[in-house]
Amino acid sequence: MMSPQRSAATRAKPGYQKIIRTCEIARSKYNLPYAWVDTCCINKDSSATLSEAINSMFRWYSDAWICFAYLADVTSSPLSFHESRWFTRGWTLQELIAPKDLVFFDCEWEFRGTKKSMATHVSMVTGIPSQILDHSVELSEIPVAQRFAWASTRETTREEDGAYSLLGIFDINMPMLYGEGPKAFIRLQEHILAEGADTSLFLWSDLRTSQEFTGLLAPSAACFREMRSITAEPSFTQREIYLTNRGIRLKLGLAWDAKTGLAVLPVKHSFGTTGTPAGVYLRRVGLDTFVRAQPNECTVASSERFYTVLTAVKCLSDSQSKRLVNHAMSIVAAREVSVVQVEPHGSWDPSSQLFYGTHTSAFIGYMAFRKSRFPQFAVVLFFQDNHWSATVVQGDRWASIQENFYSHYNYNRDELKHHDSMGDQRLAYIKGPHLTTLTVYLRINRLTGRPYIEIKTFDEIASDFNPEVS
C-alpha cells in the first residue's frame, strides 16, 4: 500500500496523516489491498495526466468499493458537521454524489456516519435531493439548471475549476486549459448543449452584472442559485439546438411582451411546485439575432407563442452591451402618430421609445407609422460602424418596397442618404388634409451627441410655419 520509509520532511507535510489514516482504515476495517488519495495519486506536473484524472474522477469515485470523506473541521459537536467547509468546496460535490458508499470521518478520524445514514442532514445542508444521494434517481433525470444550482454556492481556488469540477455531474469530457478563466464555464455549457437539448441551461439570473444585455449562456454556476426546485414540463417533441459560429441556433416558439417589445424564450420548465412556466427575456438585435435582456431576472412564459428560427448570442461583453444601449435610436413622435409595424419584430421598445441596432456588423430595419387621413409612411434605419443612416418612404412607393424590403436596400443602399454625421436634417415632408403636414427629422441631441428621429405635426395656416427650422 505504501513504503514504510518516509523522510521527516515528508511526514511533516500537511495531509500526510490523512494519507496514513486512509490506508490504515482501508486495510484494517475494510480489508482493502489498495487506497487512492487525490492529493498524492495525481501527477499534477503532467497536464495530460491531470486532464485524464479530472475527466475520470467521477467514474473512479462511482466505481470505488467505498469512499472516505475526511472533514478536518468537524469536531464532536453535532453542529460542526452542518458547518463543515467540505460542503462549500467545488471539488467535493462529485465526491459526495458519485460514490455508492461514502463514509464521513471527523477531525479525529472518528466515524460520523455514512451518506445513506446522514442523507437527511446532507440534503438539508447541500440542497441536493436525497434521491440523488441514495442513487434512486439518475443524475440525467435532473434538469441541468438544478444540477448547476447545487454548485452555485461552492468555491474553488482557481476560476477554471468552477467548471472542471462539474464535468462528472454532467457526464462531460473536455480538455483542461488552465489560464482560460471564465471561458471554461462557457465551454462546459457548450459541451452540455452538444450532448442534449435541456433548455433549462438558459434559466439563470445574474444579480451581480451591471450589463443591460448579455449572452444566453451564464457566466458562472452562481447564476443558477435560485433554480433548485425547477421541474421539467412534459414534452412530446425534442427541441433542436445547434451551436454555430454566430451563436446558439434554436427553433421554437417565442412569446412577446407588448410593453417592452422583448421576446420571452420559454425553457420548458416550471418554477417550483406552482407549475408556473418559466422563461427568459430576449432583445432582437438583427434579422434573426437575439441577446439576453434583463439578465438579473427570469420571467413567466406566456402560452401565446410564435414559432421562429433564431440565433441567440452565446456571450456578450460589457462593451458590446454598452454599444447596444448607447447607440439605440430614440423615436420622438407626435401623440397622434402611431406605430403600425416594426421590422425586425422585437427591435423596438415602446416603453422607452428606443429602436435597437446591433452590437456587431450592420443592421437595417424600419418602423411604419400611421396618422389618420395621412398616407402611411416608414422610417428606414441603417446602422453600421456606430453611425445611423435614415430615409423616409411613403404611400404607394412604400407598399412596393415593403414586400421585398431587405433585397431592395441590399442593392439600393445609396437611398439611405441621410447620415447622422451631417447634423440635423429633414427627412420627409408629408402632406395631409386641411393644410396640415407631418415632418420627419433626423436630429442630434445637443447634450449627448446621439441622433434621434422626430416626427412633428404642423399647421401650414400658422404664420410662422417653417418645417426647415422647426
Q: What is the CATH number of the domain that holds 416?
A: 2.60.270.20
Same domain, 344 and 412: yes
Q: What is the pTM for the complete model shown?
A: 0.91
Please report the pLDDT score of residue 265 as a whole number: 95
For the chain, the 3-state helix, strand and coil shares in percent, each to the nearest 5, are 30, 25, 45
Please report the pLDDT score of residue 1 as a whole number: 46
Looking at the predicted structure, is the pLDDT value of residue 405 above 90?
Answer: yes
Same domain, 306 and 355: no
- CB under 8 Å to 201, separation ≥6 — which residues? 144, 145, 189, 192, 193, 217, 218
Please report the pLDDT score of residue 455 as a whole number: 97
Please report the pLDDT score of residue 470 as a whole number: 53
Look up the domain containing 265 and give its range: 229-316
Q: Which of 316, 338, 359 is the last residue of a domain?
A: 316
Q: Is residue 406 part of a domain?
A: yes
Same domain, 347 and 264: no
Same domain, 156 and 181: yes
When pLDDT is cut at 50, 70 and 90, the band that residue 462 belongs to is low
Query: For the ranges 209-223, 233-247, 324-338, 362-376, which has the lowest average pLDDT?
Result: 233-247
Looking at the predicted structure, is the pLDDT value of residue 358 above 50?
Answer: yes
Whole-angstrom distance, CA of residue 282 vs CA of residue 223:
17
Q: Which residue(s) pair with 456 in the sheet?
A: 439
Q: Is residue 114 part of a domain?
A: yes
Same domain, 346 and 451: yes
**Helix ranges restricted to H, 160-315:** 161-164, 183-195
Q: Which of 316, 344, 365 is the last residue of a domain?
A: 316
Cβ contact 402:396 at 8 Å: no
C-alpha cell at 33: 489491498
Same domain, 307 and 341: no
Instruction: Give the residue-averaged pLDDT of 49-69.
Output: 94
Q: Is residue 207 part of a domain?
A: no
Q: Is residue 421 part of a domain?
A: yes
Q: Is residue 67 part of a domain?
A: yes
pLDDT per residue as tens digits for the range 114-158: 999 999 999 999 999 999 999 999 999 999 999 999 999 999 999
Looking at the predicted structure, is the pLDDT value of residue 13 above 90?
Answer: no
Looking at the predicted structure, is the pLDDT value of residue 275 above 90?
Answer: no
Burial pattern 349-365, b for ≥16 Cβ within 10 A else e, equals beeebbbbbbbeeebbb
Same domain, 130 and 43: yes
Instruction: Give the residue-averaged pLDDT of 245-254.
Output: 93
Q: Is residue 224 part of a domain?
A: no
pLDDT per residue as tens digits for the range 253-274: 899 999 999 999 999 999 987 7
Query: For the ranges 20-24, 37-41, 132-136, 381-385, which has the lowest average pLDDT?
Result: 37-41
Q: Which residue(s) pair with 155 in the sheet?
A: 89
Same domain, 171 and 286: no
Looking at the predicted structure, is the pLDDT value of residue 390 above 80?
Answer: yes
Cα–Cα nearest to 152, from 243, 214, 230, 99: 230
Same domain, 299 and 243: yes
Please report the pLDDT score of residue 199 as a whole number: 95
Looking at the predicted structure, is the pLDDT value of residue 3 above 80?
Answer: no
Cα–Cα nearest to 51, from 205, 172, 193, 136: 172
Same domain, 312 and 334: no
Whole-angstrom distance, CA of residue 410 vs CA of residue 392:
16
The domain tally of the chain equals 3
Q: Which of 288, 316, 344 is the last residue of a domain?
A: 316
When pLDDT is cut at 50, 70 and 90, the band that residue 44 belongs to is confident
When pLDDT is cut at 50, 70 and 90, the band that residue 45 belongs to is confident
Instruction: Give the residue-averaged pLDDT of 9-20.
Output: 82
Instruction: Give the residue-averaged pLDDT of 88-100.
Output: 97
Q: For the purposes of burial, counting CB atoms within 10 Å of the CB of 454, is it exposed (0-12), middle (13-18) or buried (19 or more)?
A: middle
Whole-angstrom distance, CA of residue 139 vs CA of residue 170:
8
Cα–Cα nearest to 171, from 55, 2, 338: 55
Residue keyed to cell 437575439:
290
Same domain, 77 and 131: yes
The share of the chain scoring above pLDDT 70, in percent, equals: 96
SS3 state of residue 26? helix
Q: Where are the beta strands (DSSP E) in 176-239?
A: 213-214, 231-232
Q: Is residue 208 part of a domain?
A: no
Q: Is residue 200 part of a domain?
A: no
Same domain, 333 and 311: no
